[in-house]
Amino acid sequence: MMKKAALLAVTATGLMLTVHFFFGFIYTCLDSYFFHAFAQYLRTGKYVFPILNLPYKHIHTGSPPLYSGLLAILYSFGRADILLHLIQLLMLVVSAFLIYKILRHYINKSWAVVIACLFVWIPGNVIYASYVMSDLGGEFLLILYCYFVFLYLITKKINYLGISIFVGFAGGLWRYPQAEFGVISLLLFIFKHPKGIKHYFFPTLGVLVIMMWLWVQHTLTGSFSLGGLSDLSFYNLQVMVRAKALPPEDHPATAEIRKYIPKEVDLRQPYWELEKYFIPYFGYDYIKLSKLVGDVGKAALWAHPVAVAGAGLDSFYQSNFEIPYDANLATFGLNYSINFPPLYCNKLETIELCKPIIKTKYSFPVWNNFVKASNLFYHTLFPFWTFIIFFPLLIYSLFSSNSVLKIFSLFYLFGRFTVALATYPTPRYVLPFYPLMVIITSLAIVEIASKLRKKKWRILSLRSRGK
């Protein structure tokens, strides 16, 4: 029975991916253009933001560099959208395969295949396979990192831990928050201090990669952070906006920023709303903006740490309810509505946007209806899975005797909480953790079911002896 189910799952998934590739299309959101702008800088040495046409005085590195590097390479080919679409679909397939490999160690082949295929069908994965965004690649690199950690845990071979360091830091240049996983593996590697120089190749390479980017970042922006907007991202959006925390008006940081912003203006709003007050003084110099706003945020953090921690917990909670993509993705081919921002369907160099390989009159309507169904999933089934099924199993997994299940649960909590504490509650930041959610849910259910079966057999055995 399960063999037939596995065959059906593979067939349906393969058919869906084929239709996705030939009849689907590439599209963007506003954040996509930050990746594009940095890709253009890598190719031409000129940084131009094409949508808002903002005259930035510094290179904007708020978006990680590796995805921009991929775009810069693809721009050398005609119809780069087809190549990008194929690459992102392959990332999704390989992520599913790695989930299968991990699950196969604990459950039978057919169940592992079905679960891996169900992972591919998660609506956010299907949608982000067409997005000019780094999140699906972040998902791939996170499960790749977890796979090498898994190999280390079951084989105790230190080389796998070393490779995980490199993958963790490389993932941090694809999606900044994932660099923390490279740090985790590096600390464990240092604690193990293996003998033999051959074990140090990948750890050294990983550290060099991240250090080289920090040097490039400092050269371009004067900042030693991974992203040039780190102060704005945390101190403004999380501390000032989410936690509603501010230092006293007589604090030096507040006094400094009040030179540019009138006292009647509430500082507890996003930096892009405050930006207009600074432009007359120093234009679009976001380094100065980051320092001014960051100093206020730091003072507010010291003054109200409990409020900031509470805002982080609230961000963690809220990010599980909303759809992880722009609402306008269900409006392709429709007239512009005031309720949704317009779709960007022009070109990014050689990337043709909103242009399938095979276009039919059903292309946009079918896609729009799929997005509407996805919206329903994220407002109903996803919260149910997260809060009713996953979170209880996550708590159970923290006390499991299975080291892989326990470590992966800690990875999920650490990764999600650090992102929630540092950024606005953006639901798309949950997407890279889908593989961990699938694995933890599956392994915890298997372990609980196994314990219940053993308990049942013990009871039956005792009863038979009593007779």
pLDDT value of residue 83 = 97
Distance (Å, rounded) from C-alpha 392 to C-alpha 386? Answer: 9
Q: Is residue 71 part of a domain?
A: yes
Helix axes 403-422, 135-155, angle to 10 degrees: 150
Contact 360, 391 (CB under 8 A): no
Q: Write out the residue range of the structural domain in which residue 227 sits.
A: 2-461
Smallest CA-to-CA distance from 47 within 286, 390, 399 is with 286
Average of pLDDT values for 152-167? Answer: 96
Q: Which residue would you say has higher pLDDT here, 421 or 424?
A: 421
Q: How confident is the model at residue 312 (pLDDT cuts 50, 70, 90)?
A: confident
Q: Is residue 466 part of a domain?
A: no
Distance (Å, rounded) from C-alpha 86 to C-alpha 22? Answer: 10
Helix axes 2-23, 80-104, angle to 10 degrees: 160
Q: Which two tokens stand for residue 75?
A: 């721009």
Whether the predicted pLDDT of 264 surpasses 90? no
Whether the predicted pLDDT of 389 surpasses 90? yes
- CA 377 to chain CA centroid, Å, is 19
Q: Is 370 exposed, middle or buried (0-12, 13-18, 19+ CB in 10 A)?
A: middle
Predicted model pTM: 0.91
Q: What is the pLDDT of residues 315-329, one digit of tens each?
A: 888 888 889 998 888
- CA 235 to chain CA centroid, Å, is 20
Which residues lie across from 347 on neighbouring strands? 352
Whether the predicted pLDDT of 243 surpasses 70? yes
Compute the radius of gyration of the chain from its Cα atoms.
24
Q: Which two tokens stand for residue 442?
A: 């599956």
Q: Which two tokens stand for residue 187?
A: 């600390």
Q: What is the pLDDT of residues 169-195, one digit of tens each?
A: 999 999 988 999 999 999 999 998 888
Distance (Å, rounded) from C-alpha 142 to C-alpha 53? Answer: 34
Distance (Å, rounded) from C-alpha 32 to C-alpha 272? Answer: 17
Rounded (to 5) percent helix, strand, coil in the chain: 70, 0, 30
Q: Which two tokens stand for residue 428?
A: 């798309």
Q: Is residue 276 part of a domain?
A: yes
Distance (Å, rounded) from C-alpha 319 to C-alpha 312? Answer: 11
Q: How many domains does the chain have?
A: 1
CA angle 384, 127, 418 (to 5 degrees): 60
Q: Is residue 467 part of a domain?
A: no
Q: Is residue 271 part of a domain?
A: yes
Distance (Å, rounded) from C-alpha 222 to C-alpha 216? Answer: 9
